[in-house]
């Protein structure tokens, strides 16, 4: 009797230990990830500033940071995985939509359409993204280390109020600038006849992407506003259920 009781508690202790090491591993990984991303975006910010100070122009700036940007922005896909397995409490869909729109802007617009890489709108969204990501990742890092300076929390939940709309403007203006080049080159498009009996026009696809900002952006913005009220002012927000 006594031994089986002991076995029971030993097993329990083992399970608890497993859970503790698992959550310690998870915390270690998340801390490393967020420090790495903060560092990455800081490097981007510094490189961009140095370029502008040294050259006095934004022409060629995108090309100089392209590789670093592609690396760190693509790596952010990992975050969708974090949400999916539940180690981060954000919804997969919210995070997924944000990461996908970033990946789309980087790989399918700015990177592949060279003629628009020197547009001012590109610099606009790059600056916005850099500031947002540095404040977001440093917020996560400090939260995980349980030492969150108030100004980081303040930055994370207030900068977006101005930066989100500015970022959207930069992105939309860039896509709009790219349209004539897409039409002329027929890139990423497929015409009839072909053996798959399908066609795809990247030009109209981009227009649909631009239109999709209309329903999507307000939802993300309002979501952030609700988060802000909850985190900064401790308000309990009753979400619409179903």
Residues that bind another protein (CB under 8 A): 192-199
> Chain-centre distance of CA 150, in angstroms?
23
Q: How far is the CB of 192 from another protein (least distance, A)?
A: 4
- Which three-class secondary structure state does DSSP give residue 201? coil
Catalytic residue among 164, 176, 188, 221: 164
What are phi and psi for residue 197, nearest 5 degrees?
Answer: 50, 50
Is 164 one of the annotated active-site residues of the chain?
yes
Catalytic residue among 62, 133, 171, 203: 171
Q: How far is the CB of 234 from another protein (least distance, A)?
A: 22
Q: How far is the CB of 220 from another protein (least distance, A)?
A: 22
CB nearer to another protein: give 16 or 199. Answer: 199
Report the alpha-carbon distance of residue 62 to residue 95 in Å, rounded: 25
Q: How far is the CB of 241 from another protein (least distance, A)?
A: 10
Is 5 one of the annotated active-site residues of the chain?
no
Report the alpha-carbon distance of residue 96 to residue 193 in Å, rounded: 35
Report the alpha-carbon distance of residue 89 to residue 234 in Å, rounded: 18
CA atoms within 13 A on the CB side of 169: 10
Helices (H), the chain: 2-55, 61-75, 77-85, 92-103, 120-144, 150-185, 202-233
Say if CB 219 and CB 178 are below 8 A apart: no
CB nearer to another protein: give 56 or 193. Answer: 193
CB nearer to another protein: give 150 or 196. Answer: 196
Catalytic residues: 164, 171
């Amino acid at each position: 009797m006594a031994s089986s009781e002991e076995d029971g508690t030993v097993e329990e202790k083992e399970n608890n230990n497993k859970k503790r090491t698992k959550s310690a591993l998870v915390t270690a990984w998340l801390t490393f990830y967020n420090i790495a991303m903060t560092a990455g975006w800081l490097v981007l910010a510094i490189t961009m500033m140095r370029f502008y100070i040294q050259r006095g122009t934004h022409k060629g700036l995108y090309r100089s940071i392209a590789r670093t940007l592609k690396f760190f922005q693509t790596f952010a896909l990992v975050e969708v995985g974090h949400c999916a397995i539940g180690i981060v409490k954000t919804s997969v869909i919210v995070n997924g939509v944000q990461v996908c729109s970033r990946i789309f802007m980087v790989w399918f617009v700015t990177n592949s359409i060279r003629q628009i890489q020197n547009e001012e709108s590109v610099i606009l969204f790059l600056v916005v993204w850099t500031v947002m990501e540095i404040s977001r990742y440093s917020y996560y890092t400090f939260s995980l280390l349980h030492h969150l300076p108030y100004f980081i929390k303040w930055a994370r939940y207030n900068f977006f109020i101005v930066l989100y709309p500015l970022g959207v403007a930069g992105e939309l203006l860039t896509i709009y600038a790219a349209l004539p080049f897409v039409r002329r080159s027929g890139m990423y498009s497929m015409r009839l006849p072909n053996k798959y009996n399908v066609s795809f026009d990247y030009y109209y696809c981009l227009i649909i992407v631009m239109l999709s900002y209309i329903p999507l952006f307000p939802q993300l913005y309002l979501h952030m506003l609700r988060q802000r009220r909850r985190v900064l002012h401790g308000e309990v927000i009753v979400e619409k259920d179903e």
